[in-house]
């Protein structure tokens, strides 16, 4: 989704801004732009639709200079993908603005500003910010004051950075609903929507809080809270290891990230699980004392993270004897729900910034859950800061829009949560031991599973010309089938649906013919015989199946069925293991189709608007 980079320095900041935008490309966008101020007060603005490289090429021709600047990658919400709608937006060639989020009352603002003579040159909500600040400048004593006045008029979400041509020594930034992070340099300071953008220039960050407005100059950062009081915010030293330019020899980030899974899962387990089991308080200080009282878990998430939550429900109820509900955040936040007694709210998110999940957490706090826990991959993110407990998945930076290693580390975290909660809810010793042993075997099992690539590449060839597909699974493999379908549709644009295979005869069987490949996940578990019956139902109707099966299941390839053997694994980790071939399948199908694997069309990595 949209990305922001800004800088106030002595040197020319163009390279910093463009590099920052490149490092934000993974978030998904459709146009990009930059505005620069020089000390003589000249304002240069360049915008392009398409990739950041188009902008880089355009700037190359113009040789733009500026020691203060703002830059943006836009993911269209209000107004189509055009150069006129790309940020930065300006008012009177004086005030320049970049903005993430949505100004919901922009129509009213637009009418009022038009009546005052402001001319709009785009269809965006963002342009109202530029004109509102410009209007406020008429009475305010400084850009800071003007922004403080202006934000009182905005309804909705914004992370915005504003500069004034008449004072190139500073930018003013404001955050409400869309994250912003200040990067501290030596004699220069920066702002971005995501610390990733600033890693080449600093490791020292201040995460702005909701309602903060800050003034940034080369030598100072002054922050004011919602009430206008000057406040100190903690400076955090980032230890993120990431070079956005480094695909580690892989053709795409997604493939690199798929292959990183054994390592990141090992990291996720390190110092948390020993030979005897789960280490005390791995979910945070005081977590175990709190878990002792938990009788119910409410999980909230979106997309892939929601699928991790759905899998967790099977585990929490089967092994930990804790009742569990799972809901999509965008549904939860807009309906009345009943809070169970002693209920723990768990949010899951790779980014920690997903707008719907964050809003659901804020709502849940008002509803009276006993505590909130977030399972998240980005330290310092909004969900981490606003939850009572946080558990970092340690997947490392995930650049591919299609989530892979974030998902398997989330599942790993949920197995640990199952152990932590099961301890207080009469989990059997044999189940506890089975999960502990399975988790210890997981990194090596993932490595083994990644070796089945060749068979999957061949399968992808047969698959790539199809327009629809059906994914089937049962029990804790049903959410894995859903995740497989999501991966395929995201990056190959093939329509994919997932069903719990017991549901086949209640409707989807009508779709079966040789043009509708059916993908089946078939570990050797207590539901195998049921699954085999479902497979026969498909075969009897002329369906073509691709079965990912444990070799002990005795599935054999024939005219209607292609079987790919998956290494045998212990039951608790089977959902994690069977995720791998489905990720690889979607990757190789997308490769054959020639789609943009890492940045699929219309999608954003971090969905910071609802
Ligand atoms: C996954 O492949 C997706 N790109 C998407 O569904 C994602 O999982 C969802 O937007 C939630 O993001 P989060 O985990 O950062 O909250």
200 and 270 within one domain: no
**Does residue 609 lie within any of the structural domains?**
no
- Does the pLDDT of residue 242 top 60, yes or no? no
Atom of ligand 1 nearest to the CA of 402: 2
Which of 253, 347, 403 to mutate to test ligand 1, by most ligand atoms within 8 A of the CB atom? 403
**Does residue 606 lie within any of the structural domains?**
no
Query: Which amino acid residue places its CA nearest to atom 5 of ligand 1?
Result: 303
Mean pLDDT over each residue of the chain, to the nearest integer: 92
State if residue 374 touches ligand 1 by the CB under 6 angstroms criterion: no
- Looking at residue 528, its pLDDT comes to 83
Atom of ligand 1 nearest to the CA of 404: 2
**Does residue 243 lie within any of the structural domains?**
no
Instruction: Tell me the C-alpha distance between 321 and 138, whole Å.
Output: 64
581 and 511 within one domain: yes
379 and 232 within one domain: no
Atom of ligand 1 nearest to the CA of 406: 14
394 and 259 within one domain: yes
State if residue 607 touches ligand 1 by the CB under 6 angstroms criterion: yes
Per residue in 102-121, pLDDT tens?
999 999 999 999 999 999 99
2 catalytic? Reply is yes
Q: How many domains does the chain have?
A: 2
Last residue of a domain, one of 237, 272, 303: 237
- Does the pLDDT of residue 472 top 90, yes or no? yes
- Point out which residues pair with 348 in neighbouring strands: 375
**Does residue 382 lie within any of the structural domains?**
yes
Instruction: Tell me the C-alpha distance between 327 and 164, whole Å.
Output: 44
State if residue 195 touches ligand 1 by the CB under 6 angstroms criterion: no
Which of 193, 196, 302 to mutate to test ligand 1, by most ligand atoms within 8 A of the CB atom? 302
Least confident of 222-226, 260-264, 353-357, 522-526: 522-526
Peptide bond into 203 cis (omega under 30): no
CATH number of the domain within which 555 lies: 3.40.50.10490
Tell how far the Cα of 109 is from the centroid of ligand 1, in angstroms.
Answer: 33
400 and 282 within one domain: yes
Which of 354, 382, 414 to mutate to test ligand 1, by most ligand atoms within 8 A of the CB atom? 354
Query: Which amino acid residue places its CA nearest to atom 10 of ligand 1?
Result: 303
- Does the pLDDT of residue 248 top 80, yes or no? no
Instruction: Tell me the C-alpha distance between 15 and 29, whole Å.
Output: 20
- Looking at residue 275, its pLDDT comes to 86
Last residue of a domain, one of 178, 202, 237: 237
- Looking at residue 597, its pLDDT comes to 92
- Looking at residue 608, its pLDDT comes to 74
Last residue of a domain, one of 182, 205, 237: 237
pTM of the model: 0.77
- Point out which residues pair with 37 in neighbouring strands: 43, 68
136 and 48 within one domain: yes
**Dihedral Cα 575, 577, 580, 581, nearest 10 deg:** -90
| CB-count exposure of residue 157 (10 Å: 0-12, 13-18, 19+) | buried
Phi and psi at 429, nearest 5°, equal -60, -35
Query: Which amino acid residue places its CA nearest to atom 4 of ligand 1?
Result: 402
Atom of ligand 1 nearest to the CA of 603: 4
**Does residue 245 lie within any of the structural domains?**
no
**Does residue 155 lie within any of the structural domains?**
yes
* Structural domain of 55: 3-237
376 catalytic? Reply is no
- Looking at residue 243, its pLDDT comes to 59
Tell how far the Cα of 417 is from the centroid of ligand 1, in angstroms.
Answer: 21
**Does residue 248 lie within any of the structural domains?**
no
Atom of ligand 1 nearest to the CA of 354: 16
- Looking at residue 599, its pLDDT comes to 87
Strand segments, DSSP code E, in 200-247 are 204-207, 213-217, 221-224, 230-231, 236-237
- Looking at residue 62, its pLDDT comes to 65
Residues 6 or more apart in contact with residue 76 via CB below 8 angstroms: 30, 31, 85
State if residue 393 touches ligand 1 by the CB under 6 angstroms criterion: no
Mean pLDDT of 516-523: 91
Mean pLDDT of 59-75: 87
Q: Choosing from 22, 445, 487, 605, which is the catalytic residue? A: 605
- Looking at residue 245, its pLDDT comes to 53
Phi and psi at 354, nearest 5°, equal -60, 120
């Amino acid at each position: 989704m949209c990305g922001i980079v800004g800088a106030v320095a002595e040197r020319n900041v163009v390279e910093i801004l463009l590099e920052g935008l490149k490092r934000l490309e993974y978030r998904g966008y459709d146009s990009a732009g930059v505005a620069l101020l020089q000390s003589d007060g000249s304002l240069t603005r360049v915008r392009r639709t398409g990739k950041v490289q188009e902008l880089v090429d355009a700037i190359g021709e113009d040789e733009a200079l500026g020691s203060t600047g703002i830059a943006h990658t836009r993911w269209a919400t209000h107004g189509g993908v055009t150069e006129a709608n790309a940020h930065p937006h300006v008012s009177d060639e004086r005030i320049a603005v970049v903005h993430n989020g949505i100004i919901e009352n922009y129509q009213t603002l637009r009418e009022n500003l038009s009546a005052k003579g402001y001319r709009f040159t785009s269809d965006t909500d963002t342009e109202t910010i530029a004109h509102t600040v410009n209007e406020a400048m008429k009475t305010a004593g400084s850009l800071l004051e003007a922004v403080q006045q202006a934000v009182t008029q905005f309804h909705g979400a914004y992370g915005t950075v504003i500069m004034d041509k008449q004072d190139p020594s500073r930018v003013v930034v404001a955050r409400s609903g869309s994250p912003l992070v200040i990067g501290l340099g030596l004699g220069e300071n920066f702002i971005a929507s995501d610390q990733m953008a600033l890693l080449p220039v600093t490791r020292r960050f201040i995460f702005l809080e909701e309602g903060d407005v800050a003034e940034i100059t080369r030598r100072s950062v002054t922050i004011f809270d919602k009430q206008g009081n000057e406040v100190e915010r903690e400076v955090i030293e980032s230890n993120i290891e990431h070079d956005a330019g480094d695909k580690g020899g892989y053709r795409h980030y997604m493939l690199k990230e798929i292959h990183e899974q054994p390592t990141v899962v090992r990291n996720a387990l390190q110092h948390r699980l020993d030979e005897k089991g789960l280490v005390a308080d791995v979910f945070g200080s005081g977590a175990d004392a709190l878990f002792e009282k938990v009788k119910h878990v409410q999980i909230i998430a979106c997309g892939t993270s929601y699928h991790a939550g759905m899998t967790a429900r099977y585990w929490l109820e089967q092994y930990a004897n804790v009742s569990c509900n799972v809901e999509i955040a965008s549904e939860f936040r807009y309906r009345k729900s009943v809070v169970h007694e002693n209920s723990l709210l768990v949010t899951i998110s790779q980014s920690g910034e997903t707008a719907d999940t964050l809003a659901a957490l804020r709502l849940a706090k008002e509803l009276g859950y006993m505590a909130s826990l977030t399972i998240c991959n980005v330290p310092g993110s909004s969900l981490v800061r606003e939850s009572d407990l946080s558990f970092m998945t340690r997947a490392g930076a995930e650049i591919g829009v299609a989530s892979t290693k974030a998902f398997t580390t989330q599942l790993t975290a949920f197995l640990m949560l199952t152990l932590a909660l099961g301890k207080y809810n009469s989990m059997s010793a044999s189940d506890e031991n089975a999960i502990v042993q399975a988790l210890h075997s997981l990194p090596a099992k993932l490595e083994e599973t990644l070796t089945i690539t060749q068979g999957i590449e061949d399968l992808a060839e047969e698959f790539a010309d199809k327009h629809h597909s059906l994914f089937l699974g049962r029990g804790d493999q049903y959410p894995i089938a859903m995740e497989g379908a999501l991966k395929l549709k995201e990056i190959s644009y093939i329509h994919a649906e997932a069903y719990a295979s017991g549901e086949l005869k209640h409707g989807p069987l009508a779709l079966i013919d040789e043009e509708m490949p059916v993908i089946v996940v078939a570990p050797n578990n207590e539901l195998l015989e049921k699954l085999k019956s479902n497979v026969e139902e498909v075969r009897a109707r002329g369906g073509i199946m691709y079965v990912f099966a444990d070799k002990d299941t005795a599935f054999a390839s024939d005219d209607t069925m292609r079987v790919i053997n998956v290494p045998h694994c212990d039951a608790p980790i089977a959902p994690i293991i069977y995720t791998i071939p489905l990720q690889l399948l979607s990757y190789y199908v997308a490769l054959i189709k020639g789609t943009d694997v890492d940045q699929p069309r219309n999608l954003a990595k971090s969905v910071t608007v609802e």
